[in-house]
Structure 1
Amino acid sequence: MSISRIPFFAGLLSLVLAGCSSGPKPPDWQLEAKGSMERSVAAYLQGNSRVEGVEFARARTEISSTGRIDLMARAELLHCASHVASLVFEPCTGFEKLRQDAAPAERAYADYLAARLQLQDVALLPEQQRGAAAAGMGSSDAAVKGMTDPLSQLVAAGVALQAGRASPALVQLAVDTASAQGWRRPLLAWLGVQASLAEKGGDSEQAARLRRRIELTQGDAKAAP
């Protein structure tokens, strides 16, 4: 998974990508920040919190050397987006410290992650998220399914669940997406949602099957959901 494919965060990497294609070598901080952010998000989705923390701290250090609030805000939002994709709903404290100096698009994305986006701000979101948000804070199964980026899909599904608008079909889509990418942490979280739905629906056989799948997914890693 490469965060350079996530439209909203392209600004964080644009100079790096341009430098890699032609022209002079980009500054070291750009290369280090890009690599550390990618490794941080990948580690979190795979269930490795230790590596995630180390790499994210390194990315913060590199970005802070530029004094660029916009880049730091987007790095914090990407960090929080990976948590929402894994159904960890908590304040995006790193971004909130920067909110007063952040751009409207960054503030809108933070509100989207917290499932409190205002309708008039939908147009400020990345293109992939607009359809799902306009349909009701990520409640449109078709809009989420139409996204081409798997992390964006999981974020939209997470927003929908947080807002209480996630259908069983959307939960299944999130399970399938996380499974296809081999992202252990969000897969465990979404399987847990499925198992709870089965139990509430009185389908003990399905719930037991899902619990066995959860046990298999945990494996030796025992990653936290």
Structure 2
Amino acid sequence: MPSRELPPPPPPAHLREWLDETVVRADRARFLADLSRRSLGLGRLALLWTVAAVFAFGWTFVGMAVMSFESGDAFGSLFGVLYAVIGLGVLIPAGFWFAWGARQERRVRRLLCAWVEAGRDPATDARLRAPARSLVWLTASLALGAVGLWVAFAAAAGARPGQDTYGEVAYFMGFGMILWITALLGLAKAGAHYRWAIRAFRGGPAASGPGGRRLVSETP
């Protein structure tokens, strides 16, 4: 997520009655555009893949640790401990980073819903559907998932006793699973945005509020 602060929530309905409708509409359009980019922008997709790359980097050290332990000698065990410590030192911060991003994502979604309920502007709302960005998330995630499944299953099916070690097979299967799980998260994101847009902007005129302002008649 971008480091700058998130947009503020919309003012309460009883205060919006006393505000300039043009200003409220302009704020709504600007904040919704910002929140939409944060939620489904290409930067968000790149961030998801970056977190996955960090997990894969940490998993590489874990795989090297397992392969070092399999050597059976003291020198290999020493390197195995070193690799395991490095791997955990990468994976644990990556897990906290992922959890922080998930919390930010929930905050963005709540603000999106709140600002959508603050009024209705067909021109702005049409852009929030973001079909092109949803398609990018969908196709990129499908491609990544296919690669992940191929890596995982190829590692298991192509293993040869006496040639491939358990550590090598576990590493490649784990690497493929990281790609596959990342792809599932991307697919879930695209699907959730599509369902949200359908609920938030489905047909039916918005109710008119005080001063002629059009308000959303249902909660997305």
Greater relative CO (CA pairs within 8 A, separation 6+):
2
Larger Rg over CA atoms: 2
Shorter chain as normaliser: what TM range?
Answer: under 0.3
TM-score, reference length from structure 2:
0.26
TM-score, reference length from structure 1:
0.26
